[in-house]
C-alpha cells in the first residue's frame, strides 16, 4: 500500500473450536493463550517487549474455524514480526506450570462470559443451533474439558491444528514482495505438514434455550439456518441482513425502536461456516414486551422474504456494503486479515472490485428467493436470558415463523 509507514501481518490457521471433540472443548483457545507464555528463545515478556520495542502490537483470536495471530508494526519490522509469529505457531514452550496457570486464567474468562448477559445469550443460541457438534460448544470450553490438558496432549493438539498446509501468511502495508517471500520461506517454509484435526459435517438442529436471571433487561437471540461461506448467494444474504437490521435505517431498528420503543439495541447479523451458516437477530428488551418484540422480528423477516426490498432499501444496502469494502481497503490490518481468510476459504484472494460487482449485481428477486429459503426451513434456534417474564419470547418467534 504505497505511502504507508506501517505494516500488518496475519498468520491465519484453518482450524479452531469446530475441530474439537467434546473431551477437547476449549483446547484451541487455551493453546492460543499458551503460545504467548514462551516460544523459541523468548519468554512471555520477551515476546511483547520485542514487538513493542519497534512500536508494534501483537494479538491473537480463536474462532470456530480459524485461529489468527496478528502484528501491527512500523515499516522495517517485517523480519521481527515473521520470526515472532513463526515461533508462536511452531515452537511454543508449553511449560507445564504455565499450562496449569493459564487454565485458571481461562476459567476467569469463562466466568466473565457467563456474567455478561449479551455474551452468554449467544453461547446459548449457538448450543441450540448446533447441538452435539463442535459448532455448538463454547469456544472457551469448560473447566472440566480443560482439566486433562497437559503438555503432551496440548503439544499434540498444536501439531494437528497448526499444520503449515492449513496456514496462510498475509502482509499488507509498507512491504516489499521480495523481502516477504524470502522471510516466509525462511520462517515458514521448512515446517513439515502433520496429520490434521478434522471436523464432521454440521447440521442446524434448532431449539429453544431459556435462562432466568435477576437482571433488568431481557437478552434475546433468534437464529435461522442460512448459507455457508462458499455459497455463491452469499452477497444476497449480506444485503438481506443489512436491510433487515444492519443500521439505523434498517427495518428492525425503525420498527422495533423508532416506531414502537421495544428495544434500545437491536440488529441482524449472519455467521458463515464452511458448509452452512446462520442468520440471526439480537435484541435487548423489557421483559414484559419481549414476546411482542419476538413476534415483530419474525414478522419483519417474513415480510422481507415474501415481498422483497424496495428499490430504495436495496440501493442503500449496496452502498453500505460497498463503502465497507473500500473503507476496509484503507486499513492494512483489515486487508491482511481479509486476504488471509479469503485464501483459506477460496484458495486465493478476492479483489474488492469483484466483491463490489457481485453485490451490485443482486436484484430484489434474488433477495426474495434467499429470504423464502430462510423462512421455509421450519427450524430456528432461540435463546432468552433475563427475567422470567421474557421466557415466552423464543416460542413466540418460533410460532410466528411457523405460521401459527
Residues of the chain predicted below pLDDT 50: none
Residues 134-161 as b or e (16 or more Cβ within 10 Å = b): bbbbbbbbeeebbeebeeeebeebbbbb
Q: Which pLDDT score, from 0 to 100, does residue 249 have?
A: 97
- Residue pLDDT, tens place only, 19-62: 999 999 999 999 999 999 999 999 999 999 999 999 999 999 99
Whether 278 and 225 have beta carbons less than 8 Å apart is answered as yes
Q: Which pLDDT score, from 0 to 100, does residue 174 have?
A: 97
- Tell me the three cell numbers of residue 326: 473500500
- Residue closest to 389 by CA, chosen among 217, 207, 208: 217
Q: Which pLDDT score, from 0 to 100, does residue 404 have?
A: 59
* Rounded CA separation 102/123 (Å): 22
In CATH, the number for domain 6-188 is: 3.30.830.10
Q: Which pLDDT score, from 0 to 100, does residue 403 have?
A: 81
- Tell me the three cell numbers of residue 92: 511454543
H-helix or E-strand spanning residue 117: helix 117-129
Tell me how far CA of residue 240 lies from CA of 14, 62, 69, 369, 402, in angstroms: 28, 27, 31, 11, 20
Q: Which pLDDT score, from 0 to 100, does residue 70 have?
A: 98
> What number of helices (H) and strands (E) belong to the chain?
16, 11
Kindly list the catalytic residues. 32
Give the domain ranges of the chain.
Answer: 6-188, 207-401
- Please, what is the angle between helix 364-376 and helix 290-307, to 10°? 130
Beta bridge partners of 216: none
Domain 207-401 has CATH 3.40.50.620: no
**What pTM was computed for the model?**
0.95
* Rounded CA separation 360/295 (Å): 32
Whether 253 and 247 have beta carbons less than 8 Å apart is answered as yes
Amino acid at each position: 500500500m504505497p505511502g504507508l509507514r506501517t505494516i500488518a501481518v496475519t498468520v491465519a490457521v484453518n482450524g479452531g473450536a469446530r475441530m474439537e471433540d467434546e473431551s477437547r472443548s476449549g483446547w484451541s483457545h487455551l493453546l492460543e493463550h499458551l503460545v504467548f507464555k514462551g516460544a523459541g528463545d523468548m519468554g512471555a515478556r520477551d515476546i511483547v517487549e520485542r514487538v513493542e520495542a519497534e512500536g508494534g502490537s501483537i494479538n491473537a483470536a480463536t474462532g470456530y474455524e480459524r485461529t489468527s495471530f496478528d502484528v501491527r508494526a512500523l515499516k522495517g519490522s517485517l523480519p521481527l514480526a515473521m520470526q515472532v509469529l513463526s515461533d508462536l505457531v511452531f515452537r511454543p514452550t508449553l511449560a507445564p506450570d504455565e499450562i496449569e496457570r493459564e487454565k485458571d486464567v481461562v476459567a476467569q474468562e469463562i466466568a466473565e462470559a457467563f456474567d455478561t448477559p449479551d455474551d452468554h445469550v449467544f453461547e446459548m443460541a449457538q448450543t441450540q443451533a448446533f447441538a452435539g457438534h463442535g459448532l455448538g460448544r463454547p469456544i472457551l470450553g469448560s473447566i472440566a474439558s480443560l482439566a486433562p490438558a497437559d503438555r503432551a496432549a496440548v503439544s499434540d493438539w498444536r501439531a494437528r491444528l497448526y499444520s503449515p498446509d492449513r496456514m496462510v501468511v498475509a502482509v499488507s502495508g509498507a512491504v516489499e514482495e521480495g523481502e516477504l517471500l524470502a522471510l516466509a520461506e525462511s520462517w515458514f517454509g521448512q515446517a513439515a505438514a502433520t496429520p490434521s484435526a478434522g471436523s464432521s459435517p454440521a447440521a442446524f438442529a434448532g431449539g429453544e434455550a431459556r435462562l432466568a436471571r435477576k437482571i433488568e433487561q431481557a437478552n434475546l437471540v433468534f437464529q435461522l439456518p442460512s448459507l455457508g461461506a462458499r455459497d455463491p448467494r452469499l452477497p444476497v444474504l449480506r444485503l438481506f441482513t443489512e436491510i433487515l437490521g444492519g443500521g439505523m435505517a434498517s427495518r428492525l431498528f425503525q420498527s422495533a425502536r423508532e416506531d414502537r420503543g421495544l428495544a434500545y439495541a437491536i440488529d441482524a447479523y449472519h455467521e458463515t461456516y464452511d458448509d452452512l451458516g446462520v442468520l440471526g437477530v439480537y435484541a435487548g428488551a423489557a421483559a414484559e414486551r419481549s414476546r411482542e418484540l419476538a413476534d415483530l422480528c419474525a414478522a419483519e423477516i417474513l415480510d422481507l422474504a415474501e415481498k422483497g426490498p424496495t428499490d430504495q432499501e436495496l440501493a442503500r444496502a449496496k452502498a453500505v456494503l460497498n463503502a465497507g469494502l473500500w473503507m476496509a481497503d484503507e486499513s492494512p490490518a483489515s486487508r491482511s486479515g481479509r486476504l488471509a481468510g479469503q485464501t483459506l476459504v477460496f484458495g486465493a484472494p478476492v479483489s474488492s472490485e469483484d466483491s463490489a460487482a457481485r453485490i451490485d449485481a443482486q436484484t430484489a428477486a434474488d433477495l426474495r428467493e434467499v429470504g423464502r429459503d430462510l423462512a421455509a426451513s421450519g427450524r430456528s434456534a432461540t435463546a432468552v436470558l433475563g427475567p422470567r417474564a421474557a421466557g415466552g419470547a423464543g416460542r413466540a418467534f418460533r410460532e410466528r415463523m411457523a405460521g401459527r
